[in-house]
């Protein structure tokens, strides 16, 4: 269990992030067209998992924009945004923002991704949502970077995350 904050108030998650050097757990999540995607779909690519509570908040939206701008300039790198938002909300955001280089996946049905990755918020007003995290994987789904942002309202450390891919 990790302790993070929301507006300076302590909240908890259900576990800890996959550790650097470990293999990331597989997942099955919903795409915008309601088909399924899994980690295996990104086999052979480096993957930036940008995880957040909701696309409809300023900081979450900013992280999607920033990773779209920065990480997608890197070769053989996929940016995957994951939240508990519906696929429809995620698609609306990408369309409204005219983003082309990111993949949004939804954990709305079961929340299993959040539980398996140890980042589900377990108490407070965001209970059941994902905490803000970045997990970077190499071509073999090995974790090469992880960050659980200590205050939900803060942005992740984009440069530290992307530095692992240079």
What confidence tens digit (pLDDT) does each residue in 114-145 have? 999 999 999 999 999 999 999 999 999 999 99
Helix (H, G, I), strand (E, B) or coil at 65: helix
Closest Cα to residue 24, out of 149, 138, 158? 138
pLDDT of residue 3: 92
Q: Contact, 126 vs 11, CB < 8 A?
A: yes
What the chain holds in terms of domains, given with CATH numbers, is: 18-109+132-163 (3.40.30.10)
The lowest-confidence range among 33-37, 66-70, 122-126, 158-162 is: 66-70
Annotated catalytic residue 60: yes
In this prediction, residues 11-24 reach a mean pLDDT of: 97
In this prediction, residues 11-30 reach a mean pLDDT of: 97
Q: Which of 60, 82, 137, 141 is catalytic?
A: 60
């Amino acid at each position: 269990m990790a302790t993070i904050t929301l507006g300076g108030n302590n909240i908890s998650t259900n576990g800890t992030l996959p550790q650097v050097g470990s293999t990331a757990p597989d997942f099955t999540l919903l795409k915008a067209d309601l088909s399924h995607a899994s980690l295996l779909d990104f086999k052979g690519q480096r993957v930036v998992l940008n995880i957040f509570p909701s696309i409809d908040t300023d900081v979450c939206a900013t992280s999607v924009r920033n990773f779209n701008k920065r990480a997608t300039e890197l070769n053989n790198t996929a940016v995957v945004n994951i939240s508990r938002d519906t696929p429809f909300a995620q698609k609306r955001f990408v369309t409204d923002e005219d983003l082309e280089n990111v993949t949004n996946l939804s954990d709305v049905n079961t929340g299993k991704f959040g539980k398996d990755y140890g980042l589900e918020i377990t108490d407070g007003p965001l209970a059941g949502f994902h905490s803000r995290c970045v997990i970077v994987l190499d071509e073999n789904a090995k974790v090469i970077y992880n960050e659980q942002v200590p205050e939900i309202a803060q942005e992740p450390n984009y440069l530290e995350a992307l530095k692992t891919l240079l």
